[in-house]
Amino acid sequence: MSYELGPVSAVVRSSKPLTATVDDEVVMLSPDRGAYFGLNRVGSRIWELLTQPRQVADLCDALTAEFDVDGQTCQAETLAFVRRLERADLIEVVPTASATTGR
């Protein structure tokens, strides 16, 4: 990987994983990896927000409005989560100009 994901990076769901919602949480199967993934309530909300490309900072704006978390903590945890999704090939990084922003 020749770049570092940061607050202005834009990401979107990959179309590859098979997903289902179970008790307000998302479960996924990655056919490429043959692995299952389960997302908690916050992870499920991030997944929901990624139906369209979004900058990580915009994800944090939405999450801090919906959950009891400060901006700094949200950014650190969201970046870590998005990096894990990328390593698992569950999201794609897209040109920032493609991102939907709430700003």
pLDDT tens figures, 26-60 = 999 888 888 889 999 999 999 999 999 999 999 99
Q: Among positive and negative, which fits the CA dihedral 47, 53, 57, 61? A: negative
Q: What is the mean pLDDT of the chain?
A: 88
Q: How confident is the model over 6-20, as pLDDT tens digits? A: 999 999 999 888 899
Distance in angstroms (rounded) separating the CA atoms of residues 3 and 69: 27
pLDDT digits (tens, 9 = 90+) for 75-87: 999 999 999 999 8
User: What pLDDT, on a 0 to 100 scale, did the predictor assign at position 2?
Assistant: 44
Domains of the chain: 10-90 (1.10.10.1150)
- Its pTM stands at 0.85
